[in-house]
Structure 1
Amino acid sequence: MAEAQQLTDPCAHHGEGPVWHRDWPGLRWVDMLAGDVLTLDEATGAVRRAHVGSVAAALRPRSVGGAVLALERGFALADDDLTEVRPLPEVWRDPAVRMNEGGCDPDGRFYCGSMSYRSDPGMGKLYRLDADGSVSVVLDAVTISNGLAWSPDGTTAYYVDTPTQCVDAFDYADGELRARRHVAHVAPEAGAPDGLTVDADGYLWVALWGGSGVHRYSPTGELVDRIEVPAPKVTACTFGGPDLTDLYITTSQVGTDLEAHPLAGAVFRVPRAGHGQPVLPYRG
């Protein structure tokens, strides 16, 4: 059982969605409810903020340069420095619902799922942004749409709707998710599944909201390891570094006693935790 090491100060109220991309200046993640994207200069430890909207739910690199973003009620395109943000048309108008978490498929489409601010059951959906800018609903009646990542061979997508306490798998082909089934179940006393990543060997790394840790599961759903994180609300994780061997972990201060947990909101790292896959870019 490894323990994550503190990498940054507690700089995010609701840190989420870490992304490592070789053409970016360092690790990026979001302070979601502040509407900011954060970039770490690991050499100096400095964290730079870029305000992109009222909510910054998720981001991924674009294959042509720059980034694709999920904002409060839709998507946006940005330049490499995140100084120029061009929102696309809003996907819905209901102010009670916001985007939450997403990722790209092996064919370059960007997905992000939604949830209501009050976590009302069935109020969310999983949306897909195609390369031509069109938006489709992939899953309906979701409560807290969370982690989404693909197997190394690109044929299986793994997905979390947090209140189910499960990681689900889908057969994936050409933008379609089919044959949904449970792969792993997180016992409630261990926390609730949040963001996830899949490593180069097909193992799943699942952040545990309220569980102060990250679980590692085999492709068949066997729990094989746990990483301890000194903050209770663990939100997401990704591999990064020059060789994609370091696991980066984001945390949140939401609903947390900061006197008891002063490191909540920091980013943590586990050096040489495994070997990750390169981030999948948006091809639009």
Structure 2
Amino acid sequence: MTNPAVHPHQARPVLEAGCEVGEGPVWDARRGELLFVDIKNPAVWRLDPESGRHARQPVPERIGFVALTDDPDVVVAGFKSGLKRLRLSDGAIEPILSPEPDRPGNRINDGHVGPDGSLYFGTMDDGEAEPSGAFYRYDGSELAVFQEGIVVTNGPAVSADGQSLYATDTKAGTIFRHVLTDGRPGERQRFAHLTPDVGHPDGMAVDAQDHVWVCHWGGGRVTRFAPDGSVERIVEIPAAQVTKCAFGGPDLATLYVTSAAIGRDRAEDPAAGHVFAVDTDGIRGLPAHLLGGAR
């Protein structure tokens, strides 16, 4: 990884959430809300950045992400035990499927909905030691694995043109690209690699220019990669464990960034677990897609 000058974007805190492991931000333009989760103090958070109003809804088990559906009150959540529908208004939960009933030590981690309404998500060893994790595609009826043997999965994210899917092997420090054919990922190819001195690649977002914004766990930054895998810019975040980012706001030109407080000394990292916003100087993101077939 090359090391260009840090770009002078200013990351400002928008919610002092103090999440153990804040993750999975997604912008719901219908409500003007940012949704995100706390994996290890399990909850779904909702934030209206305009007014500052926010709500925390506890859930009964670890949760890696939420995906929007055509009903604004219903999301599909990646719980430890499987995919489930979650009604935001009252917390009602309805199971959909369990991807790995034979691997009780695993949990679902990160997820993303592609332009065709398919859900791409990963599983991982909850103890972060065994290579028992895998990446899946769920089209609303069929579940298919497309990569196995990973300790900690992150991403995925789909390119602006819908032709590529990016997925991260966090322990290996590597982001891979899969060519999509009718929504199905092909063999992986190395896209970019982070050296341990700048942290480990975590969640990501793709912008309208097909650049990939990757969060650094343990690195206190987000890196914007060009489509050829070169580093285009670095944005500093005032928290060490940066987990995932998503574009939001009325024009999708604000990058919202989650972080984690787990294992951090509050005296040294006082903003750990908070949510940040970065004005991107006109760089716009992509709208969140709705999950098809699993409503």
TM-score (norm: length of structure 1):
0.94
Instruction: Choose which of 84, 95, 117 in structure 2 pairs with 1:87.
Output: 95
**1:199: how far off?**
0.1
Q: Is the 8 A contact 1:25 1:39 kept in 2?
A: no
Is it true that 1:43 corresponds to 2:43 in the alignment?
no
Is it true that 1:21 corresponds to 2:28 in the alignment?
yes
- CA 1:82–1:11 in structure 2 vs 1: closer, same or farther (change >3 Å)? farther
The alignment's C-alpha RMSD in Å is 1.6
**Structure 2 partner of 1:191:** 199
Is it true that 1:122 corresponds to 2:131 in the alignment?
yes
Q: Is the 8 A contact 1:15 1:30 kept in 2?
A: yes
Cα separation, 2, equivalents of 1:58 and 1:182 = 25
Q: Is the 8 A contact 2:165 2:178 kept in 1?
A: yes
Cα separation, 2, equivalents of 1:137 and 1:82 = 33
Is it true that 1:62 corresponds to 2:69 in the alignment?
yes
**1:116: how far off?**
0.8
- CA 1:201–1:82 in structure 2 vs 1: closer, same or farther (change >3 Å)? farther
Q: Is the 8 A contact 1:64 1:283 kept in 2?
A: no
**1:130: how far off?**
2.1
**Structure 2 partner of 1:173:** 181
Cα separation, 2, equivalents of 1:205 and 1:156 = 15
Is it true that 1:154 corresponds to 2:162 in the alignment?
yes
**1:212: how far off?**
0.3
**1:78: how far off?**
2.6
Q: Is the 8 A contact 1:34 1:56 kept in 2?
A: no
When structure 1 is superposed on structure 2, of 246-255 and 104-113 the one drifting more is: 104-113
1:174-214 Cα offsets, whole Å, 9 max, x none, are: 23211311111112111110000000000010000000000
1:227-254 Cα offsets, whole Å, 9 max, x none, are: 1111100000010000000000000012
Is it true that 1:239 corresponds to 2:247 in the alignment?
yes
Instruction: Choose which of 78, 81, 85 in structure 2 pairs with 1:77.
Output: 85
Residue 57 of structure 1 aligns with an amino acid whose one-letter code is G
SS in 1 for 2:216: strand
SS in 2 for 1:270: strand
**1:80: how far off?**
5.0
Aligned pair count?
Answer: 283
**1:25: how far off?**
4.7
**1:42: how far off?**
2.0
Cα separation, 2, equivalents of 1:89 and 1:181 = 29
Cα separation, 1, equivalents of 2:114 and 2:50 = 31
Instruction: Choose which of 219, 226, 235 in structure 2 pairs with 1:218.
Output: 226
**Structure 2 partner of 1:8:** 15
Residue 210 of structure 1 aligns with an amino acid whose one-letter code is G
Residue 17 of structure 1 aligns with an amino acid whose one-letter code is G
TM-score (norm: length of structure 2):
0.91
1:251-284 Cα offsets, whole Å, 9 max, x none, are: 0012211111111000001123420000122112
Residue 208 of structure 1 aligns with an amino acid whose one-letter code is H
1:63-91 Cα offsets, whole Å, 9 max, x none, are: 35421111002101133536322122433
Is it true that 1:255 corresponds to 2:263 in the alignment?
yes
1:116-171 Cα offsets, whole Å, 9 max, x none, are: 12212421011222223x42222211211101111111001111110121111110
**Structure 1 partner of 2:291:** 282
- CA 1:265–1:115 in structure 2 vs 1: closer, same or farther (change >3 Å)? same
SS in 2 for 1:154: coil
Residue 210 of structure 2 aligns with an amino acid whose one-letter code is G
Residue 131 of structure 1 aligns with an amino acid whose one-letter code is G
Q: Is the 8 A contact 1:52 1:82 kept in 2?
A: no
Cα separation, 2, equivalents of 1:53 and 1:206 = 29
Q: Is the 8 A contact 1:10 1:263 kept in 2?
A: no
